[in-house]
Homo-oligomer: A and B are copies of this chain.
Amino acid sequence: MRQRVMRGISALVVASGLAGVAQAQPLTIERFGSFHVGGQEVEISGKPVIEYTPTVGGAPLRIDPNGTYMVGQMYAQFMVPQPVRGTVPLMLWHGAYLTGVTYETTPDGREGWQHYFLRRGWTTYVTDAVERGRSGAAMTPDIFGLAIHLPTSNPWERFRIGDGAGSHARGTVLEGNQFPTEPEQYRAFMRQVVARYLGTDEYVIAAYIALLERVGPSVVIAHSQGGAFAWQVAQRRPDLFRALVLVEPAGTGIAADAAKLKDVPTMLMYGDYVEGDPRWSVIRRNARRFADAVRAAGGTVDDVDLPARGIRGNSHMIMMDRNSDAVAGLIQEWLAARGLWR
């Protein structure tokens, strides 16, 4: 049986988030701030000087792009609540085309998962993956590879919001979909989108390792592309993971190294409409096959199929869906049940 049912989580908790935690209360923050980790200096030489006349102003510029550049570093924003109740820090890693904003707000303006876990006493680290957001940018395609941009129709149709091809133009959504799809809400989501690059995987993995080395063993919640990275990072440094929560990972770890994950307790979660989607059904099948390999090696992967648990309508962007707090509640309870929260 691929799907393992989680034990010890009441329907009440799922429906309401953690009882007794008032969302509107002020937060006491012991400290917050940010830093960058990793990166390296790269030498650029032999490129021609650029002659360029800006549109406004008109004075021609001469720009010599040759020199030494810092590339591959990663931005992390930390918040330490008071009191701290998580036994280790909790990291929130986003997916492709996005930044840490994924966890900082929702398209309908509610608090994000960063707030959810902070309010429950977790020290949170929200990152912008290498190449994206506040992490920096390197010459493309010379260093980071080709830049890819996401057209507005793409997530609507690919992230299980709309009902398939052409649905963005039609303005139609999957029945019962929980993603905020009012025009201004969807626009708020598209404003969060950044470019991604096709040559950065090893930079990203190195930076996540550098972050964990600096912070120490942590719980990692990772989404989509970030989930695939998290699995691979955990295979390289399982000692730095106390638990791994994969929210709709878009890929897997290295199959031959599945045994390296045997001591990393893992939750694997997908939302609704997966079987009806030709791409996501394959992605989940691959993830479940990989999870089976981890289990065969003695590891623990709890498979959470949200609709099978009565939680319906979730798109690929679960942390932005209208029931995002209820799903966060599942994660919180799972972490607490593993002794990582007191």
Contacts and interface: CB of A to CB of B under 8 A. Distances in A.
Interface of A: 26-36, 39, 41, 44, 50, 52, 54-56, 61, 63, 65-70, 73, 75, 77, 82, 99-101, 104-105, 109, 111-112, 115, 128, 133-134, 136-140, 145-154, 187-188, 190-195, 198-199, 201-202
B36 A188 contact: yes
24 contacts: A26-B28, A26-B29, A26-B30, A27-B28, A27-B29, A33-B112, A34-B104, A35-B105, A36-B188, A36-B192, A54-B198, A63-B146, A68-B152, A70-B152, A70-B190, A70-B193, A77-B104, A99-B134, A128-B134, A133-B133, A136-B192, A136-B193, A137-B149, A137-B195
A33 B105 contact: yes
Contacts of A65: 148-149
A146 B77 contact: no
Contacts of A128: 133-134
B134 A67 contact: no
B67 A153 contact: yes
B194 A134 contact: yes
B147 A35 contact: no
A100 B145 CA distance: 26
Given A101-B34, A101-B75, A202-B56, A67 B151 contact: yes
A168 to B, nearest CB: 9
Given A140-B147, A145-B54, A149-B65, A187 B26 contact: no
A149 B82 CA distance: 40
A116 to B, nearest CB: 12
A139 B146 CA distance: 11
